[in-house]
Amino acid sequence: MKKIRLGIVGCGIAARELHFPALKELTDKFEIVAVTSRTREHAEDFAKLVSETLGSTPQVFNSYEELLLSKQVDAVDLTLPIELNVPFIKQAVEHDLHVICEKPISTDVKSGKELVEFSLQTNKVIYIAENYRHAFKYNKIRELLHEGAIGQPIFVDWHLWIGMDKENKYVKTTWRQIPKHIGGFLSDGGVHHIAALRVMLGDIEWVSGQVKRITDYLGDVDFLSTLFEFKTGVVGNYTVSYAVKGEEYFEIVGTEGKIRLTPNLIVLSGKVDEDIPLIQENTFKKEFEDFYEVLTTEKPNILGNPAEALKDLAFFEAAIKSKGEKVEIERLIKEA
């Protein structure tokens, strides 16, 4: 089996805590041969971690440019401050390399759209990593909805009270304290939720939202409440606070029943009464497996498609710009 020679770019939280644990399970598919980060010491620490865990030592490069020119990698794995995603992706493709890059696609719809257009003009794979698209629970709920388990779905309600304090490791990253990406944590964390909603219920037609800033340490607005409608006519309410901590609530109501999602179960009631346990899974591993298949087989890049990632981000720009009015998402993308 062909191994993809991977260069790790950015050695922060996501690289160390999310990507490396997945990649160390996939040594038949990926070989980490190169590493770079803004701070050389962080790249060296990462190389040491790879060496101690896997027994092979990747080369540490002083800069991204040097890594790109080294001819040692087939693909780069970007886990960077969001504002670097688009320029770094373009640079990799211009050096004839494939890219897997952490979500969100970019800081705003305009630059994200430029990347989507760029991605259509290259045969290199640009894979925007959105691990929620790979999660069992959302794909299972989509299946249940398609099977008619609750009749015709009519409403989805998702409230998240994430509540991050000043000591939170993400809050402490400097690029999140002065965010260049729209809505700060709202888009950074929120693209996951919209990706999940779209896995379950399809594309969103319009959104109307209201934002607030509750704390002074989360960089930007930190509360959003939205009303929106899927193309199928299902109506939704998605409300999220990164300031206030509390219990998450998720429910889809249909003409013949309900689906509730709890931390451990999918709870079906009405037409069918059933509790479906959630399985333990590493969605980052699934994401890298999918990226590998896209690189090495004829599999199309659906789950990491930049156009899909753009739709997730556009929800937030639309909601923030809406100021309570309806904003059509496709029109927003078209006119950006």
Where do contacts with ligand NAP occur on this chain (CB under 6 A)?
Answer: 9-14, 18, 36-39, 42, 64, 79-82, 84, 102-103, 131, 170, 173, 188
CB closer to ligand NAP out of 35 and 243: 35
- Of 113 and 193, which has the nearer Cβ to ligand NAP? 193
Residue 316: in which H helix or E strand, if any? helix 306-322
DSSP state of 132: G
**Closest residue to ligand NAP: CB criterion:** 12
Task: Give whichever of 107 and 119 is closer to ligand NAP, judged by the CB atom.
Answer: 107
> CB 130 → ligand NAP: shortest distance, Å?
7
Amino acid at 232: T
Q: Which is nearer to ligand NAP, 101 or 145 (CB)?
A: 101
Pairing of strands 274-277, 327-328: unpaired
CB-nearer residue toward ligand NAP: 84 or 197: 84
Q: Which is closer to ligand NAP, CB of 81 or CB of 184?
A: 81
Least Å from the CB of residue 176 to ligand NAP? 7
> Residue 299 CB, nearest distance to ligand NAP (Å)?
21
Q: Is 191 helix (H, G, I), strand (E, B) or coil?
A: helix
Closest separation in Å from C-beta 292 to ligand NAP: 18
| CA 43/CA 49 separation, integer angstroms | 10
Between CA 232 and CA 20 the distance in angstroms is: 39
Indicate the residue among 31 and 102 with the shorter CB distance to ligand NAP.
102
The token pair at 320 is 């923030």
Work out how close the CB of 255 gets to ligand NAP at its nearest, in angstroms, rounded to a whole number.
34
Minimum Å gap between C-beta 277 and ligand NAP is 23
**Of 247, 263, 229, 219, which is closest to residue 160 (Cα–Cα)?**
247
Quote the CA–CA distance of 247 and 139 in Å, as a whole number: 23
Pairing of strands 223-230, 249-254: unpaired
- The sign of the dihedral angle between the CA atoms of 281, 285, 289, 295 is positive
Write down the least CB distance from residue 9 to ligand NAP, Å.
Answer: 6
Structure tokens at 184: 């700060």
Question: How deeply is 53 buried, as exposed, middle or buried, from its count of CB atoms within 10 A (0-12, 13-18, 19+)?
Answer: middle
Give the residues across from 210 on adjacent strands.
225
- Based on CB atoms, which residue is closest to ligand NAP, 37 or 226? 37
| Residue 85 CB, nearest approach to ligand NAP (Å) | 7
End-to-end CA distance of the chain: 43
